[in-house]
Structures are given as C-alpha cells and as structure tokens.
Chains A and B, each alone.
Chain A
Amino acid sequence: MHTGGDLLAIEPGAGVLGLASVGSVDSSLVVELGAVVLGLAVVARLARRIGLPALPLYLLAGLALGQGGIFEVSATEDFIEVGAEIGVILMLLMLGLEFSTHELIANVRRTTLGGFVDLALNFPPGFVAGLILGFDPVVAVLLGGVTYISSSGIVAKLVADLDRIGNHETSVVLSILVIEDLAMVLYLPIVSGVLFGGTALDTTVTVAISLLAVLAVLTFAYFFGERLSAFALSQSSEALLLTLLGGTLFVAGIAGRLNLSTAVGAFVVGVALSGDIVSHARGLLLPLRNLFAAVFFVFFGLQVDLGSIPDVAVAAGVIAAVTVVTKIATGWIAAGRVGIGKPGRVRAGAALIAHGEFSIVIAELGIAREGDLGALAAAYVIILTLVGAVLYQFSDSITVRARKRRHARA
C-alpha cells in the first residue's frame, strides 16, 4: 500500500520552483495564519486540560480576533472564509459516514415518538424567542433550529469520555441525535430555499425542487451506495483522499448552487458511502475535519461584533435556561418510554443539552439577514456546551442527592 511516500518523491529541481512560487504569496498572510492556528492549538490544549469541549473556546477565540476584539485579523480573512466553508462540508461528510441509509430508516421507525417529542419541545423556544426579539419570521425559524438541535459531536464525545456507552439510556440518546441529524437534511434545504427565494411562488418551487433532489439522492444511495463505494475505493490512500475530497466538494458545491445548502450535499455523500471505504475515509479525513472545523468556528466568531454580545447576553441566558429544561424533559420522556429508571432518564436529558456545530451552521445561514443572530447563537452555544458538559457529568450525583433527601424525609 502507498502511504505518504508519494508526496516526498519530488525531483530536486522542483523544490526550488516550489519555493519560488510560495515566496510570491504575501508572507504576512502565512505569519498571520500560523499565529491563528497556533492560538487554536493553545485553546485545544487548554480545553483538554480542563476536560471540556473545545468548540466553545474556538468560538471565543474567534470573537477575540474579530471586530472590536483584542486583535483583528485582516490578511487571512479570505482564506479563513474558504476554510470555514470546507469545515462545514467536512463535518457533515463525516457525520454522514457514520450512518448508512438502511440504518437511518430502521432508526426512524424505532424512535419516531422520541424524535417528535424532541422537535415539539425544543423548536418552539427558539422560534418564539426570535419573534419576541423582533427578528423576521424566517430568522425566528432559524433560531428555532438553533435551539432544537443538540450537538451529536459533543454528546458522542462526552458519552465516550465518561464511559457511558454501555448505559441503557445511551441507545435512546444516540437514536434521538440521529433523528435530529436527519431532520436537518429536510430543514436546511427548506430554510435555504426560503432565505434565498424571492416571491412566495418562487420559494415554494425552490423548496419543492430541493426536497425532491434530496429524496432522489437518498434513494440512489439506498440502491447503489455499495456499488458507488466499491468504485471509489482505491489502494492508494492519496488517491482515495483526493477522490473523497474532490467528489464531496463537487457535490456540495452543486447542492449549494441549487440552494440546497452545501451542508446537505456533503451529508448525503457521507450517507451514500458504505462498506470498506468508510473506515479508510474516516481515518483519512479526521485530521482535515479537525483543522477545518476549528477554522469554521473561529470564522463564525470573527463575524460577530464583540460589542454586541452584552446586548444579547440576557436573551441568550434565558433561552439557554429554557433549553436545559426542555431537553431534560425530552430525555425524561423518551427514556421513560423504553422503561429506563429515573436516574437514567435524567442522564438522557442532560446528555442532550449540549448544543454545538449544527446550531452554529444554522445561525451562519441567517447572519447576513440579522446580525444579532450571530452574537445570540455564539453566546447560547457557549453557555449550553459548558452547562451541558457539567450537568451530564454530575447528573448522577444530582439524582443520588435527591434520593437521599427523600429517604431522609421518609
């Protein structure tokens, strides 16, 4: 098997040529980029040290580097913007790789009620808050999406870090997360259609076309996913990486062109791939995903004016508090349905509190329309990832204390 060896087999002369072309790029850009990435490295180490997800800290880093922040990046902004787009695409591709179409369908059949409760309890708080804050209805729908969707990335990591994969409630939690991710496949094209469409008729047509396109691709994936995967598989990891990255960017780009949202395009590619290619692809793409996802969160933070955070802090805190309650209720009901005891039901709810990558992806769509949405979503996500991580970690001691108190009273 070929490894990275191919890359190193460059003719001696080519090195000189390569150096010359690199030299023509503004070197201050490279320095700035290096400084930004190094800054993120420090942040990631810090997050690991204190045992919290790195995502909220990346957002904070972005805020600090943006307008009104401590240090404004200017030279690298274009690069970061492109990097951020690639970050979203890679996040969704990796998420799609986790599932096959067959698994998704089986899961939807099993967890319909839990998924419905989740939507019914967690979408309205954001939507209503958006209307109260005077956003236009489309932006309020986006805020509803922000509060609806938990972070499958952060939750999966918390579950693994705390050794709770074997817990009974974990299957409920994971199933709900899958339904949420799947809901995004319908939600993102609809909101993109509404955001970028013109008249009511135009919008309806755009949305209808996009939903049909998603269905068509998923159907194709259901029947031909395995053959496609076998075709794309290559013995050379370099060739495989280029195929995956090129293919995904291409499909995502076309999806974006059709107002389907690039994110959905990438997710569908991930779902369509199955079999041997998946484990190879995960290994190859993970480092790239980590890099560009971090860039995406920084980019989001960059777009938010630090000065507007205090104005939205109270609103973000209130919506976050409501979400803590509604997500715990969701876990309580869904886990109760399958006969899980009270402590497990609390854990299921606490696991669902953390919000992250998807909330930011959704808010990003509306940031041009409503500047405050960016600041609100950033503050909201930072609060909930931290609160969620802490509550999930300590949910057992909370229920144990409650039990002891009851015993003491009895």
Chain B
Amino acid sequence: MRKVTESDLPGVGVRFDLQTDGGRNVGVVAHQTGRRDLVIYDEHDIDRACESVVLTEDEGHTLGELLGGSPVLEHLDDAVHRLEDLVISWVTIGAKSSLAGQTLAEATLRTRTGAGVVALVSESGSIPIPAGTERLEPGDTAVVVGVPSAVKAATRLLTRAG
C-alpha cells in the first residue's frame, strides 16, 4: 500500500496526498460537507493545484469504485480498522508460527483466542469465509476479526513461534 499523507484544513476538512511512481502528485480534499475535490498538482510547483475537480459525495463514491474501490481506509490505520469495539486485522502468517501449515479446523483459533478468520488472502487469490479444511500457509494473509484482546492473541499465535 502506498503512503498517503493527511493534512488538516481547519473549518474545511482534510486533504490526502499521494505521489505516483511517475512523479506526479495527486490529492483529495474531503470537505466536512461531503464534497470531494480531486486535485492534480503542477509538475513544476508541486504545492500548486493546477487542476481541481469538484465532486459531490455520490460522484466521489462512483469515481472511487471506477478506480478499483480500494480499501484505503483499512490501510491508513496500520492495517487495523476499528468498527465500534470490533477490530479487523490483516495478519501475515509467519513461517515459525506453530499454526503454520495446519488447517483452520486443526488450529482451533476461535476456541483458543475468541477471534475468527473471516478470509485468507494468498497470491493465487483470496478465500472469503474459509472452510475448516483450508490451510494456514506461511506468507499468506489471514483477515482476523474479534475484540481487540482476542485479535492480539490470535496475531501472536499466527506470527510467532511457541
């Protein structure tokens, strides 16, 4: 995930900036009112918005979908996203983990920690709501859901030895 920098605009909203591999800077101004400005910065004066397109909340969502509806928000907060008192975490399964190579049924993660695996993501594709026969392969990512303490315990089991 790319680095997105965030700047407050008091009384207006928040601005997000992103630099592309091509060296161009683009940004989004998220107004408190729901309005979104899509901003493109000048190549010679990278602080100057040379083009700025005003989008309504709806248009912003549509454009986001067209660009590949990305999970930007989940990644902003260090791959941990809070929903009320639930936490979703993206955990890369460690090679040294005692659970590496086991099936979900063998690992009994939910019984041991209280946190459940809601998806497995590997290079060959992702498996939403995996069955008990799916394996926890080292290097793959497990999407873990639960209360913070449970997710923490599950993360420890999935990443460390012992």
Contact = CB atoms under 8 A, between A and B. Distances in A.
Nearest to B40: A166
Interface string B46-59: 11110010000000
A145 to B, nearest CB: 21
B7 A171 contact: yes
A282 B9 CA distance: 19
27 contacts: A98-B11, A99-B10, A103-B10, A107-B8, A165-B9, A165-B12, A165-B29, A165-B49, A166-B27, A166-B29, A166-B39, A166-B41, A166-B49, A166-B52, A167-B47, A167-B48, A167-B49, A168-B41, A170-B9, A171-B9, A175-B10, A279-B33, A343-B45, A343-B47, A344-B48, A396-B45, A396-B48
Closest 4 CB pairs of A and B: A344-B47, A166-B39, A166-B49, A168-B47
Looking at B12, B39, B46, which has the most chain A CB atoms within 10 Å of its CB?
Answer: B12
A174 interface: yes
Interface of A: 98-99, 103, 106-107, 110, 156, 163-171, 174-175, 177-178, 279, 340-341, 343-344, 347, 396
B47 A165 contact: no
Contact of A344 (B10, B29, B33, B45): B45
Interface of B: 7-12, 15, 17, 27, 29, 33, 37, 39, 41, 45-49, 52
A340 B15 contact: no
B102 to A, nearest CB: 46
Given A103-B10, A107-B10, A175-B10, 16 more contacts: A99-B11, A110-B8, A163-B49, A164-B49, A165-B12, A165-B29, A166-B29, A169-B47, A171-B9, A175-B8, A344-B47, A344-B48, A347-B47, A347-B48, A396-B45, A396-B48
Contacts of A343: 45, 47-48
B110 to A, nearest CB: 38
A106 B8 CA distance: 10
Given A341-B45, A343-B47, A166 B37 contact: yes
Contacts of B17: 168
B53 to A, nearest CB: 10
Nearest to A152: B11
A279 B32 CA distance: 10
Contacts of B11: 98-99, 156, 174, 178
A335 B140 CA distance: 43
B56 to A, nearest CB: 16
Contacts of A169: 47
Looking at A99, A165, A166, A167, which has the most chain B CB atoms within 10 Å of its CB?
Answer: A166
Nearest to A110: B8
Contacts of A396: 45, 48
A108 to B, nearest CB: 10
A99 B48 CA distance: 26
A295 to B, nearest CB: 25
Given A166-B15, A166-B37, A174 B47 contact: no
Contacts of A103: 10
A106 B49 CA distance: 26
B77 to A, nearest CB: 17
Contacts of A171: 7-9, 15
Contacts of B8: 106-107, 110, 171, 175
